[in-house]
C-alpha cells in the first residue's frame, strides 16, 4: 500500500511538473516590422504559413516567390501549406514557431495582436494606400494586411432566373422570395440551396450586415445594440433565410447537402441560387467548365435591399497576413507582405477585390459597377468587441450553429416561432455585451 501511494505521488508530481512546462509564444513587448530601404540588401530565409494548399501544390506560390526574388534577390521564401490552417496554427501560436509570415487566425483576439505580431506601421500611413487596414488596427498601429477582398452576394444561374421570367435584380426580400417562387413553379431547379450540412456557407449570411442599412458603422451598431431588433441588418437577413426555408423554396433534404457537388449543379441550372460571395464566382465558373456548362450563366447579385434607390455591398478582407513578432527576419517578412499585397497580382488572379485603393474592380463585379451598386467598407473599430460578445454569448454570428437552428425552425424540425428565436438571440447578445462592458 505504501509503495503504491508513493508511486502515485511520484506520478502526480511528474505530471504536474510536465504540465507546468507549457508556455506561450506571445510577448508583451511589441515590435515593429519596418519596410527595408534597399531591396537588394535585405536577406534571410522567411517561412510563409498559408491555407492555400492548392497554390503550394500546383507551384503557383513558387512562381510568386520567383517574381519576388527579382526585386529582393537575397531573400529565400519557403511555404508551409496547412490543410487545417485554423486548428494547427492555433496550437502553434502557443510557441514561438509560427512562421515568419502567417495569416492571422480568427481565434486571436484583436487586442492580442500586438503580443503576437509585429506592427506594419500606423493606420494613418497605411490607410491612405490600402483597404482593410481597420480590421487589424490596435491603438493606431496596423498588424496585418489582407491580400484581397470580397463582397457578399447571391450566386445565381442567369438562364434559370430568365426562364422564370425575372430579368431585374429583386430590390426587396419580398420580391426576392417571389422570384424564387417563380423559379420553383416555372423551372425544375431547386430555387435556393442552403448548404446546411457543410455549415460554413451558412455563416456567409452574417455578411448581409451593412448591406441592408448601407451604414459604414454597422459593426459598431452590432457591438452597441441588439442585432436582431426590428429593421436591423442581421434580422432582415435572417428573416429572409427563414422565409425562404419556410416557403419550401430549398432542397428537399438539407441535412445531406454537399458543397462540392453544389457547384456543378448551380452551373448546370439544377440549383438556381445560393448566398455566398464574390470569392465563389471563380470556383463556380471552373466547375461550370468542368461540367460542360456555360460559365457565363453564373451571375452575381446583391442582397435584395436598397437604400435611397441603390444597392449596397460591403467589402470585407480575406485572411490578413502578418509578421511573427518572434521572427528574426522581420524586414524580409515585411517586404514579402507589401510585395504580395501590391505587386503579386494575387487579387487579380483570384478575381477578387484588390486591397490597393483606387485599383480597378475585378471582372466579376462588372455587373455591380454597371448597376451602380455602392461598395462600402465597414468601420471595424469595434470588430474586436463584436467577436468578444459573440464568444461570450455563445451566439456565434460567425459560426453556423444558430443559422442551422434557424433553418430547422423554419422547416419545422424544431419548435418555436421566429420572433421568439430572434428575441432570445438578442437577449443573450445584449446580456453578454453588458457583462463584458461592466
**Contact range with another protein by CB under 8 A, out of 85-93, 167-175, 204-212, 357-365:** 85-93
- Give the one residue of 391, 418, 423, 436 binding another protein; rule: CB under 8 A: 391
Is residue 139 within the footprint of another protein (CB under 8 A)? Answer: no
Is residue 29 within the footprint of another protein (CB under 8 A)? Answer: no
Is residue 394 within the footprint of another protein (CB under 8 A)? Answer: yes
Q: How far is the CB of 108 from another protein (least distance, A)?
A: 6
For the CA atoms of 400, 220, 240, 417, what is the dihedral angle to 10 degrees? Answer: 70
Is residue 199 within the footprint of another protein (CB under 8 A)? Answer: yes
Taken in order 251, 255, 257, 259, is the CA torsion positive or negative?
positive
Show the DSSP H helices in 26-172 as ranges: 53-57, 60-71, 85-92, 113-116, 123-127, 158-163
**Contact range with another protein by CB under 8 A, out of 143-151, 155-163, 249-257, 268-276:** 249-257
User: From residue 298 to residue 317, what is the string marking binding to another protein with x (rule CB under 8 A)?
Assistant: --------------------
Per the DSSP assignment, residues forming a β-bridge with 190 are 271
Q: How far is the CB of 241 from another protein (least distance, A)?
A: 15
Is residue 2 within the footprint of another protein (CB under 8 A)? Answer: no
Neighbours of 17 (CB within 10 A): 9
Is residue 93 within the footprint of another protein (CB under 8 A)? Answer: yes
419: left (phi over 0), alpha (psi -120 to 50) or beta: alpha
- Give the one residue of 167, 256, 417, 438 binding another protein; rule: CB under 8 A: 256
Cα–Cα distance, 332 to 72 (Å, whole number): 8
Is residue 19 within the footprint of another protein (CB under 8 A)? Answer: yes
Q: Name the grid cell of 40.
A: 537588394
Q: Is 135 helix (H, G, I), strand (E, B) or coil?
A: helix
Neighbours of 171 (CB within 10 A): 15
Spatial CB neighbours of 262, under 8 Å, sequence gap ≥ 6: 193, 195, 271, 274
Cα–Cα distance, 138 to 122 (Å, whole number): 9
Is residue 396 within the footprint of another protein (CB under 8 A)? Answer: yes
Applying CB under 8 A, the residues found at the interface with another protein are 11-12, 14-16, 18-19, 22, 24-28, 87, 90, 93-94, 105, 107-109, 112, 115, 196-197, 199, 252-256, 390-392, 394, 396, 399-401, 404-405, 408, 411, 413-414
Amino acid at each position: 500500500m505504501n509503495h503504491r501511494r508513493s508511486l502515485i505521488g511520484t506520478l502526480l508530481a511528474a505530471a504536474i511538473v510536465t504540465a507546468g512546462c507549457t508556455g506561450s509564444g506571445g510577448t508583451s513587448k511589441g515590435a515593429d516590422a519596418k519596410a527595408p530601404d534597399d531591396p537588394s540588401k535585405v536577406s534571410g530565409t522567411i517561412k510563409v504559413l498559408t491555407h492555400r494548399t492548392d497554390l503550394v501544390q500546383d507551384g503557383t506560390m513558387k512562381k510568386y516567390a520567383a517574381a519576388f526574388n527579382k526585386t529582393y534577390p537575397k531573400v529565400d521564401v519557403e511555404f508551409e501549406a496547412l490543410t487545417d490552417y485554423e486548428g494547427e496554427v492555433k496550437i502553434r501560436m502557443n510557441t514561438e514557431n509560427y512562421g515568419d509570415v502567417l495569416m492571422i487566425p480568427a481565434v486571436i483576439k484583436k487586442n492580442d495582436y500586438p503580443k503576437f505580431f509585429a506592427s506594419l506601421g500606423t493606420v494613418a500611413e497605411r490607410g491612405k494606400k490600402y483597404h482593410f487596414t481597420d480590421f487589424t488596427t490596435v491603438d493606431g498601429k496596423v498588424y496585418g494586411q489582407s491580400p484581397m477582398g470580397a463582397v457578399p452576394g447571391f450566386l445565381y444561374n442567369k438562364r434559370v432566373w430568365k426562364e422564370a421570367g425575372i430579368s431585374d435584380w429583386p430590390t426587396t426580400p419580398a420580391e426576392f422570395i417571389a422570384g424564387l417562387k417563380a423559379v420553383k413553379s416555372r423551372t425544375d431547379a431547386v430555387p435556393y440551396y442552403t448548404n446546411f450540412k457543410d455549415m460554413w456557407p451558412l455563416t456567409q449570411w452574417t455578411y448581409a450586415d451593412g448591406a441592408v442599412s448601407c451604414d459604414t458603422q454597422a459593426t459598431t451598431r452590432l457591438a452597441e445594440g441588439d442585432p436582431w431588433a426590428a429593421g436591423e441588418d442581421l434580422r432582415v437577413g435572417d428573416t429572409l433565410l427563414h422565409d425562404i426555408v419556410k416557403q419550401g423554396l430549398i432542397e428537399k433534404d438539407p441535412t445531406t447537402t454537399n458543397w462540392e457537388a453544389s457547384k456543378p449543379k448551380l452551373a448546370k441550372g439544377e440549383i438556381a441560387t445560393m448566398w455566398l460571395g464574390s470569392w465563389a464566382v471563380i470556383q463556380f465558373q471552373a466547375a461550370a467548365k468542368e461540367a460542360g456548362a456555360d460559365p457565363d450563366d453564373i451571375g452575381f447579385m446583391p442582397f435584395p435591399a436598397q437604400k435611397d434607390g441603390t444597392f449596397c455591398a460591403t467589402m470585407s478582407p480575406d485572411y490578413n497576413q502578418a509578421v511573427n513578432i518572434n521572427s528574426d527576419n522581420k524586414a524580409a517578412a515585411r517586404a514579402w507582405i507589401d510585395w504580395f499585397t501590391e505587386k503579386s497580382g494575387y487579387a487579380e488572379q483570384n478575381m477578387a477585390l484588390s486591397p490597393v485603393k483606387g485599383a480597378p474592380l475585378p471582372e466579376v463585379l462588372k455587373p455591380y459597377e454597371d448597376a451602380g451598386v455602392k461598395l462600402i467598407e465597414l468601420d471595424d473599430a469595434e470588430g474586436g468587441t463584436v467577436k468578444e460578445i459573440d464568444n461570450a454569448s455563445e451566439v456565434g454570428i460567425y459560426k453556423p450553429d444558430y443559422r442551422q437552428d434557424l433553418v430547422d425552425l423554419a422547416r419545422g424540425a424544431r419548435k418555436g416561432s421566429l420572433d421568439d428565436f430572434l428575441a432570445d438571440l438578442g437577449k443573450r447578445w445584449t446580456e453578454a455585451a453588458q457583462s463584458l462592458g461592466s
